[in-house]
Amino acid sequence: MSALFAAGLIQWGTWQNVPEMLLAIASEWVPVILAMLICIVLHECAHGFAAYRLGDPTAKNAGRLTLNPLKHIDWVGAIAMVLIGFGWAKPVPVNMRNLKHPRRDMAIVGAAGPLMNFAIALVFVFFSACLEAYVLSAGRASELVQILYNFCYYTAALSTGLGIFNLIPFSPLDGSKILGALLPESAYFRLYRYERYGMLVLIALMLLGRVFPQLDFFTKILMPAREAVLYAFRWLARLPFGLN
């Protein structure tokens, strides 16, 4: 009976710690999820808005000009973004027949997403520079300021990674739309003929890189590119405060 009573006390003590455990998990993952939603939703809205301004209402009619994240998230791409810093969302529907200059306009629509991500990154790096300047002037950093600083810098890193990843000139990523505007017409249609297989190839390459680190293209090339862009953004953002 005493052993059973002791086991009950241990179990009760474990359950008593559940609120603290949940709070710890929330404090770690809520900022990550929030940053991911900001990066994905604004990226996709930029695509849809660019297409709409160029004469194609397809994305608008499909409800993709919205800040509702459920309309935009591809869960595999979202998980990849959290795990390795590069990912993707559901492609915004675009009807090229509604565009006056299909190839040029598709390049503009494709570029709108990564450009939005770089703009997000610059804004959040600037916020982190503001916090850095505040800490230097105040002479101390509260826990809240530290949390906000980490969130700003993480969002900037995630958004930069998403922008760079999508600039890869490989269908169906945004970079392929930009490349398509530069290719001869025959090569252009050949490129889009195999678009449906592109994402499978990308997923396979990511999994291969996880199994064989020496073949991890994303870590060896894209992450240094992300750090270089972040360094440039950080230098620009800190310039007004004399922090460089």
Residue 44 known to be catalytic:
yes
Return the closest-CA partner of residue 216 out of 16, 138, 28, 224: 224
Q: Residue 122 is which amino acid?
A: L
Distance CA 150, CA 156 (A): 10
The CB-side HSE value for 24 (13 A sphere, CA atoms) comes to 5
Given the residues 44, 132, 185, 195, select the one marked as catalytic.
Answer: 44
Distance CA 77, CA 103 (A): 26
- Residues designated catalytic: 44
